[in-house]
Chains A and B, each alone.
Chain A
Amino acid sequence: MTGDKQALQKEKLIVGTPQTLRETDFDPVGKSVVRKDVIPKVTGKAIYAGDLHMPGMLIGKVLLSAQPHALIKGIDISAAAAVPGVKAVLTAQDIPGENVFGIAIPDQQVLADRKVRFIGEPVAVVAAEDAFAAEQAVSKIRVEYEPLPAVFNPIDGLKPGAPLVHEKGNILYHTKVRKGNIEKGFDEASVIVENIYRTAGQDHAPIEPEAGFSWIDAEGVLNVFTSTQYAFRDRRQIAVVLNLPMNRVRVANMTMGGGFGRKDDVTTEILVALLAWKTGRPVRLVYTRHEAMLTQTHRHPTYVRVRTGANKEGRLTAMEGVIYGDTGAYSSLGIFVIKKMALHLGGPYYYPNYKSDSFSVYTNNPIYGPFRGFGVLQAAVSHEGQIDELAEKLGMDPLEFRLKNCLRPGLSFSTGQVMTEACGIGATLERLQQYMVENGLSFERPQEVSA
């Protein structure tokens, strides 16, 4: 390694722009360096969005929908506005620009207007002199709901006559992946296994719940200092909702207390910006753990039916699958996560014939969005289950079976893309095999436990 590095540096192969990089710029490579964020973090001096404060600061609090699916017949804020210390009680009507945002498509309301689509959807937002006044005000907002029939899983959501979460219909996105000839592939199979797999939702639970801090500075710029994974996208969306030119909005990313995907979406940013804009005062909005679990995104629950075939020699011949991904009330990244799942449903194995369909479906559940793994984890549950069962039916060692079928350079993925070098599954399995031999390990099926 060191030799390679020296060779590289000697030949000065690496040229940066605009200046040429010097050898010393590579000094940290291969060494342990102190990350510059760590000393502030171990001493408690790192500033997270929820740590910010300013003189005259107000505290924000959100009223979340108590209904999964309902028409809003009226909102009475009078008692809330009368709570001493309350400076603003805002509903959809108070939004200066467009009441819409969304990381992939703009299908989500900032504050629910006429209809709520999940328990936890923001309906109103309050700013007050302290947390207790804000909390009291939120508890005094009266919302008159007219409940609508609701749908809580994607399979029900696709049935004819299912309640419509969005007027355009419950299918957010349908992805089709086709490769080879699926009938031919199953004809060639001597063993076929077919199963249904279900995975549950999951909360990212970053230790820092979502937090944002907003104020208008002396130049009239609306600042939002926040716990976010994507400041620029937040900025664009805030500007639309507040009807401000982009150069009047500044978004800064504070030290982030964990995101794992869910702070990719807009979280508190637009709401806290609205409050600061309307009150002219600095405002801090920090979700409680409970609020964060209700109103933020989660990992997609999925329902999968998959059929996989292999021939007598132990080679996979075909895979066919359908995925129903629950994206909840709004899209978030539900288009892409569930699309990716269709691509990865077969896992890191080679299938000459492949067919998958995935449906990202709206329901009245909480919103499901990006979460590390991005659909691939859910797919792994089914492809590994299928592979194990096929190996067992064929009487083959599960590791041998995987080695025989894993993607290697020269073979094509579900999309037809031919692998060049990016696929390390073969090398990983070989290393595992070696380790098992060295340590005298073998695969044993766990004993069934009876309850």
Chain B
Amino acid sequence: MDENNLVKMTLTVNGEEVSMMAKGGRRLLDFLRDDLHLTGSKEGCGEGECGSCTVLLDGHSVLSCLTPMERAIGRSVVTIEGVGSPTNLHPVQAALLDEGGVQCGMCTPGMVISAIDLLQRNPDPTVEEIIEGISGNLCRCTGYKKIIFGIQHAAEELRSSGRTGMVKEATR
């Protein structure tokens, strides 16, 4: 095995400092799944089409299957594992659950991250804007309607409680 290209990965993942030596030259998705065992981010296509690998990098949604892992050094990554916990769901998670926007669940982590990215930028999106906001995320099960309703309801919930979609604030 090639031991030459070990890199020091120092970054924040889901609010916690990570500092470790890791084999470089891979995608951020591989580092998250294989090294940190954060397997919530999925690989549906590996080519940027499906959005199931979406994570927040310094607060912006990016595709971890097209991001070189070293790009995350010194930055902050949020994956689905950092969004809400079973006892303290983010409003987007709770709304997808309530509306029946989750079937097989393979698209769900990426969908949740994209919805959060959208609501951070636009707390009161129209249906058109929601559709645009999740147009980089494919779902083969639900037909999208219930996901769109869910995001609408999450937006209402956040606005009525005076919170933003930011992960820390929304799950407070």
Chains A, B in direct contact (C-beta < 8 Å)? yes
Identify the A interface with B (CB < 8 A): 34, 37-48, 50-51, 53, 84-85, 129-131, 133, 204-209, 255-258, 260, 286, 288-289
B105 touches A129 (CB 8 A): no
- A84 CB, min distance to chain B CBs, angstroms: 6
A255 touches B97 (CB 8 A): no
- Among A84, A130, A208, which residue has its beta carbon within 8 angstroms of that of B104? A208
- Among B34, B107, B112, which residue has its beta carbon within 8 angstroms of that of A207? B107
Please report which residues of chain B, range 77-106, place their CB below 8 angstroms from some CB of chain A when the two chains form the complex. Answer: 79-81, 83-86, 89, 93-94, 96-97, 102-106
Residues of B within 8 A of A85 (CB): 1
Q: Judge whether B50 is part of the interface by a CB distance below 8 angstroms.
A: yes
In the assembled complex, the Cα of A277 lies from the Cα of B33 at a distance in Å of: 25
Interface centre among A43, A85, A205 (most CB of B within 10 A): A43
Residues of B within 8 A of A84 (CB): 1
A42 touches B93 (CB 8 A): yes
B81 touches A43 (CB 8 A): yes
- B172 CB, min distance to chain A CBs, angstroms: 17
Residues of A within 8 A of B38 (CB): 44
B interface majority secondary structure: loop
In the assembled complex, the Cα of A133 lies from the Cα of B45 at a distance in Å of: 21
Residues of B within 8 A of A288 (CB): 46
- Among A41, A50, A133, A289, which residue has its beta carbon within 8 angstroms of that of B105? A41
In the assembled complex, the Cα of A209 lies from the Cα of B42 at a distance in Å of: 10
- B135 CB, min distance to chain A CBs, angstroms: 15
- Among A45, A53, A129, A209, which residue has its beta carbon within 8 angstroms of that of B44? A209
- A301 CB, min distance to chain B CBs, angstroms: 20
Extra 4 A-B pairs, beta carbons < 8 Å, given A38-B97, A133-B1, A258-B141: A38-B105, A131-B30, A206-B104, A255-B104
In the assembled complex, the Cα of A289 lies from the Cα of B53 at a distance in Å of: 14
A42 touches B104 (CB 8 A): no
B84 touches A258 (CB 8 A): no
CB-CB contacts of B27-39 with A at 8 A, as 1s and 0s? 0001001100111
A interface majority secondary structure: loop
Known: A85-B1, A205-B140. A256 touches B44 (CB 8 A): no
A44 touches B79 (CB 8 A): yes
B86 touches A39 (CB 8 A): yes
- Among A34, A286, A289, which residue has its beta carbon within 8 angstroms of that of B97? A34
In the assembled complex, the Cα of A133 lies from the Cα of B1 at a distance in Å of: 9
Q: Judge whether B164 is part of the interface by a CB distance below 8 angstroms.
A: no
Residues of A within 8 A of B107 (CB): 207
Known: A42-B97, A288-B46. A260 touches B140 (CB 8 A): yes
A289 touches B46 (CB 8 A): yes
In the assembled complex, the Cα of A129 lies from the Cα of B104 at a distance in Å of: 30
- B126 CB, min distance to chain A CBs, angstroms: 24
14 contacts between A and B (CB under 8 A): A44-B38, A44-B41, A44-B80, A44-B83, A45-B81, A47-B39, A48-B42, A133-B1, A207-B42, A207-B140, A208-B104, A257-B105, A258-B141, A289-B46
A207 touches B40 (CB 8 A): no
A42 touches B106 (CB 8 A): no
Residues of B within 8 A of A43 (CB): 40, 80-81, 83-86, 89, 93
Known: A41-B105, A44-B79, A44-B109. A207 touches B86 (CB 8 A): no
In the assembled complex, the Cα of A48 lies from the Cα of B41 at a distance in Å of: 11
A206 touches B39 (CB 8 A): no
Closest to B93 in A: A42
Residues of A within 8 A of B109 (CB): 44
Residues of A within 8 A of B97 (CB): 34, 38-39, 42
In the assembled complex, the Cα of A299 lies from the Cα of B34 at a distance in Å of: 34
Known: A129-B1, A289-B44, A289-B46. A207 touches B106 (CB 8 A): yes
Residues of B within 8 A of A206 (CB): 104, 106, 140
Q: Judge whether B56 is part of the interface by a CB distance below 8 angstroms.
A: no
A38 touches B102 (CB 8 A): yes
B43 touches A50 (CB 8 A): yes
Closest to B84 in A: A43
Residues of A within 8 A of B152 (CB): none
Residues of A within 8 A of B37 (CB): 53
- A46 CB, min distance to chain B CBs, angstroms: 6
Q: Judge whether B119 is part of the interface by a CB distance below 8 angstroms.
A: no
In the assembled complex, the Cα of A260 lies from the Cα of B141 at a distance in Å of: 9
Known: A42-B102, A53-B34. A208 touches B46 (CB 8 A): no
Q: Judge whether B64 is part of the interface by a CB distance below 8 angstroms.
A: no
Closest to A209 in B: B44
In the assembled complex, the Cα of A431 lies from the Cα of B61 at a distance in Å of: 45
Residues of B within 8 A of A42 (CB): 84, 89, 93-94, 96-97, 102, 105, 108, 112
Residues of A within 8 A of B138 (CB): 207
Q: Please name the 4 residue pairs, one residue from A and one from B, whose CB atoms are nearest each other, closest first.
A: A44-B40, A41-B105, A257-B106, A44-B80
